[in-house]
Amino acid sequence: MAAKVDMDKVVSLCKRRGFIFPSSEIYGGLASCWDYGPMGVELKRNVRDAWWRTIVHERDDVVGLDTSIMMHPGVWAASGHIDSFTDPLVECKSCHLRWRADQIENQRCPKCGGELTEPRMFNLMFKTFMGPVEEGASTIYLRPETAQGIFVNFENVITTSRKKLPLGIAQIGKSFRNEITPGNFIFRTREFEHMELEYFVKPGTDEKWLDYWVKERFDWYTELGIKKENLRLREHGKDELAHYARACFDIEYLFPMGWSELEGIANRGDFDLVQHAKASGRELVYYDAEASERYVPYVIEPSAGVDRSVLAFLIDAYDEEEVEGEKRTVVHLHTSLAPIKVAVLPLSRNEKLTPLAKDVHKQLCSSFVTDYDDSQSIGRRYRRQDEIGTPFCVTVDFESLEDKQVTIRDRDSLAQIRVPVAELNKALEAKLKGETFDASPLWATREK
């Protein structure tokens, strides 16, 4: 089953409306690298903020961390990434394209049908050199996950945060993987952003916490607007578990290319802390003072991608509908994710309307991310705001000059209400929270 939205349509909207551009485009682009434009940067930020709010700020059992991308190479030896973070690579003997052996169906080149080489294990970590000498001893890696920065700081965080287990440590940051087959727009890229939580628990309680986090993370996506029917859970078979995992569930989304991983929630057991303790010689244990016990905690890890979430939110919100005989493309993003919350649109660029419209913009922009647009026809400006997902447009018209009222237009229902400029912030605040705003007798209501 494929999603009802074509990837091409989403890619084209992203380019047209300033969400996402090909990286280094004037040089012909760089494979699988993308730049976030003015709308994309706001959307991406809102996704990160929504995750951080739910995972860190709204809980008292999770703290945040921001660790460096480059780490001591010993970290990657201990974590198993040097030996095991590999994919099987095959090359076509005719056209020389390279493929992941485990993603090929009939063992012939998917492009030209040519014969393939025997698979060899290809390490996905990017290597570079630290300092001026390019030699083996100065080789370091760009991190392929943010998780290891958390594990190597476990002791620092436990001793400084004065918190008891279960305790989570959360981090958002860039990761790098030299993927053999990146693609599907921002779904699989070589540089991407992770949102990872390592939740440290007492062994024996790990299965309960795994179930807990699977549900929490599933609900996070639906609460932010993803339709339930486009999400499903899939448990990993024993043969596909990562080298560190005892169990793992994927939250899958129905992307245009079919059901694919959106987020993984793994039970990493004590693998990482034991490995780092062995390799570093530091004792990485937790002392439970109340029970007078010491143990190595187990870890439950919900690990999501910012970029992949952005893609899922955009695809799910994308819609084409007919309004009064005309096609309208609209992006029904959740209000907390929408790049622009309110657009102030004077009916026309007119010297009488402009001062009031500018005043309204000024009144709103310290409370809401607000756009001001007075170019082209009002219809075209509504279309643009619909395509970037702006939940509310505020229209200033000639009547506004007389009655000091403006019209709020709702992106989804297209309903319009008229409110006094003095009440506008209050009205928008309520509407952005999803509350119904009582356009009571105080305020004249006008349905179009």
The minimum distance between CB 301 and ligand GAP, in angstroms, equals 6
Q: Are 288 and 165 in contact (CB under 8 A)?
A: yes
> Does residue 373 touch ligand GAP according to CB under 6 A?
no
CA 336 to chain centre: 13
Q: Are 175 and 76 in contact (CB under 8 A)?
A: no
> Does residue 192 touch ligand GAP according to CB under 6 A?
yes
Q: Per DSSP, which regions of 38-166 are E strands?
A: 62-64, 86-91, 98-100, 120-123, 127-129, 139-141
d(CA 194, CA 197): 10
Helix (H, G, I), strand (E, B) or coil at 33: coil
Q: Is residue 382 within a helix (H) or strand (E), and if so which, with residue range?
A: helix 378-388
Tallying the residues shown for the chain, one arrives at: 448
Q: Select from 188, 276, 381, 431 the one that contacts ligand GAP (CB under 6 A).
A: 188
- For residues 262 and 333, which CB has a smaller minimum distance to ligand GAP in the complex? 262
> Does residue 308 touch ligand GAP according to CB under 6 A?
yes
- For residues 115 and 219, which CB has a smaller minimum distance to ligand GAP in the complex? 219
Query: Which tokens is 49 given?
Result: 């903020």
Q: Are 424 and 430 in contact (CB under 8 A)?
A: no
- For residues 194 and 381, which CB has a smaller minimum distance to ligand GAP in the complex? 194
Within 287-306, the residues that bind ligand GAP by CB under 6 A are 301, 303-305
- For residues 13 and 262, which CB has a smaller minimum distance to ligand GAP in the complex? 262
**Site string (411-440) toward ligand GAP, x via CB under 6 A:** ------------------------------
d(CA 101, CA 121): 10
Q: Is residue 147 within a helix (H) or strand (E), and if so which, with residue range?
A: helix 147-151
Residue partners of 165: CB distance under 8 A and separation at least 6: 200, 201, 202, 286, 288, 297
The minimum distance between CB 248 and ligand GAP, in angstroms, equals 8
Q: Which residue is nearest to ligand GAP (CB)?
A: 305
- For residues 187 and 382, which CB has a smaller minimum distance to ligand GAP in the complex? 187
- For residues 240 and 438, which CB has a smaller minimum distance to ligand GAP in the complex? 240
Whole-angstrom CA distances from 242 to 79, 86, 157, 182, 271 are 12, 10, 26, 19, 11
Residue that has been written with the tokens 């647009």 in this structure: 373
> Does residue 143 touch ligand GAP according to CB under 6 A?
no
> Does residue 263 touch ligand GAP according to CB under 6 A?
yes
Q: How many residues bind ligand GAP, per CB under 6 A?
A: 19
d(CA 405, CA 81): 62
Within 102-121, the residues that bind ligand GAP by CB under 6 A are none
Q: Select from 196, 206, 272, 316 the one that contacts ligand GAP (CB under 6 A).
A: 196
**Site string (395-414) toward ligand GAP, x via CB under 6 A:** --------------------
Helix (H, G, I), strand (E, B) or coil at 190: coil
Q: Are 265 and 248 in contact (CB under 8 A)?
A: yes
Q: Select from 145, 155, 316, 374 the one that contacts ligand GAP (CB under 6 A).
A: 145
The minimum distance between CB 86 and ligand GAP, in angstroms, equals 13
Query: Which tokens is 103 given?
Result: 């993603």
Within 14-43, the residues that bind ligand GAP by CB under 6 A are none
Q: Select from 91, 179, 216, 399 the one that contacts ligand GAP (CB under 6 A).
A: 179
Pick the stretch among 111-119, 221-229, 255-263, 346-354 that binds ligand GAP (CB under 6 A).
255-263
Pick the stretch among 43-51, 66-74, 190-198, 347-355 that binds ligand GAP (CB under 6 A).
190-198
Query: Which tokens is 370 given?
Result: 């607000």
Q: Are 45 and 39 in contact (CB under 8 A)?
A: no
> Does residue 76 touch ligand GAP according to CB under 6 A?
no
Site for ligand GAP, rule CB under 6 A: 145, 147, 177, 179, 188-189, 192, 194, 196, 261-264, 301, 303-305, 307-308
